């Protein structure tokens, strides 16, 4: 039977990790892996999470099953940070825990499909797994250009997608800190997007994977909240992998906003059935730790301070890159206006290979770089290498 299978292309990022590990050069730079790093190159466990895990060690009495909805204390504790002062919007929003943001996106798209959505409009480039999940579900991807050449978001393209979508179609947007470009919509653009959703009746699916890494927890949620205030229904996928440093613990949540609270029971009976068939129930540990943090004022303050320090470091890197002006033909100034872990450089695959082979600088073939891989110590080398390759 196994001889019927066709080989699949290896994951490009995993291959890059292996190449970096095998490189003996001491001054090599890893800009590929999508995790936050300190100036020392570490991806530490948050101190607030460590404290919460100690509480779990001391007080958790059972590892018995939860249901497919997961830890509802975790799900509900997140809601004020995602949705604001009225986190249920009058009882119209409900959620469930998922295995990371990927599980939340998968569940959002699977439930949309079950509700009749066949085609999803999405700005490209995007996180590669968006397209892979759509393909696995057999849903059609309708791409539009997310960004313009000047490093700003393409408002006309997203408005055309929203206004042109049919009744069996949805539009998928990043809430903030766009992966892979770092290019977010402005407040005025979000207002126009919200109005387009309201007038067209198109269904929004919002992927919030990096809240807090741009300008702050409140600021990064503002655009998404503008859309939710304007529409009757929406799906929201949220990840704690980045803003709580819970990468390998797979901590996410999926939320449904319904036109009226009575529709939520039916929606979640379907969502629970999809989750039960896919992963039965989500892993508990990471979500339980986040719940403990968010229920304790001191731990919450500690977490927010740690998140602010991450954000400040990435902003410093962006400002330093922008202050260099250009590197060869590449204008680095737009990076200061962008947000989060990622930006994309207009380099060819051949130039990416040259940076890797001649300078020990590792990045995705698309030109995406992880801002957090740069430090005051390696920034001059990076800029000089970029100028040499893209001169």
Q: Which helix (H) or strand (E) holds 124?
A: strand 119-124
336 forms beta bridges with: none
Sequential DSSP letters for 254-269? EEEE-SSTHHHHHHHH
Q: Are 223 and 185 in contact (CB under 8 A)?
A: yes
Q: What angle do CA 103, 109, 110 make, to 5 degrees?
A: 85
What are the φ/ψ torsions at residue 251 (nearest 5 degrees)?
A: -120, 110
In whole angstroms, what separates CA 38 from the centre of its chain?
19
145 forms beta bridges with: 124
CA distance 326 to 312: 23
CA distance 239 to 110: 17
Contacts of 382 (CB under 8 A, 6+ apart): 29, 31, 361, 374
Q: Are 104 and 253 in contact (CB under 8 A)?
A: yes
Active site residues: 127, 207, 242
Smallest CA-to-CA distance from 242 within 254, 250, 232, 234 is with 250
Tokens of 146: 């997310």
Q: Which helix (H) or strand (E) holds 170?
A: strand 169-174
Q: Are 145 and 154 in contact (CB under 8 A)?
A: yes
Among left, alpha and beta (phi > 0; psi -120 to 50; other), residue 144 is: beta
CA atoms within 13 A on the CB side of 320: 18
Q: Are 288 and 246 in contact (CB under 8 A)?
A: no
Instruction: Kindly give the pairing relationship between strand 140-145 and strand 169-174.
Output: unpaired
């Amino acid at each position: 039977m196994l001889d019927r299978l066709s080989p699949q292309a290896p994951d490009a990022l995993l291959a890059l990790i292996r190449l970096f590990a095998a490189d003996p050069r001491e001054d090599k730079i890893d800009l590929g892996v999508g995790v936050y790093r300190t100036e020392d190159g570490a991806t530490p466990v948050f101190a607030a999470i460590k404290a919460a895990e100690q509480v779990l060690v001391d007080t958790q009495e059972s590892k018995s099953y939860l249901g497919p909805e997961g830890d509802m204390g975790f799900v509900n504790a997140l809601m004020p940070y995602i949705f604001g002062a009225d986190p249920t919007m009058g009882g119209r929003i409900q959620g469930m825990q998922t295995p990371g943001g990927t599980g939340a996106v998968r569940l959002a798209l699977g439930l949309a499909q079950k509700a009749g959505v066949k085609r999803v409009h999405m700005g490209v480039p995007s996180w590669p797994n968006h397209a892979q999940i759509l393909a696995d579900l057999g849903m059609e991807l309708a791409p539009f250009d997310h960004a313009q050449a000047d490093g700003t978001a393409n408002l006309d393209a997203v408005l055309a997608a929203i206004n042109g979508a049919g009744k069996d179609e949805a539009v998928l947007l990043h809430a903030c800190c766009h992966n892979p470009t770092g290019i977010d919509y402005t407040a005025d653009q979000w207002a126009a997007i919200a109005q387009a959703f309201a007038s067209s009746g198109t269904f929004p699916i919002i992927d919030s994977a990096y809240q807090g890494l741009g300008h702050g927890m409140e600021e990064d949620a503002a655009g998404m909240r503008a859309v939710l205030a304007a529409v009757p229904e929406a799906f929201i996928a949220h990840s704690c992998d980045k803003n709580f440093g819970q990468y390998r613990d797979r901590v996410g949540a999926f939320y449904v906003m319904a036109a009226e609270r009575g529709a939520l029971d039916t929606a979640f009976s379907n969502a629970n059935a999809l989750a039960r068939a896919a992963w039965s129930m989500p892993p508990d540990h990471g979500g339980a730790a986040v719940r403990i943090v968010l229920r304790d004022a001191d731990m919450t303050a500690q977490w927010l301070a740690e998140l602010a320090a991450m954000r400040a470091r990435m902003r410093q890197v962006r400002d330093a890159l922008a202050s260099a002006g250009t590197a060869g033909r590449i204008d680095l100034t737009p990076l200061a206006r962008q947000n989060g872990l990622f930006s994309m450089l207009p380099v060819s695959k051949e130039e990416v290979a040259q940076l890797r082979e001649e300078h020990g600088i590792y990045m995705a073939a698309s030109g995406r770089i992880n801002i957090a891989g740069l430090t005051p110590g390696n920034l001059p080398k990076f800029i000089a290498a970029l100028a040499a390759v893209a001169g």
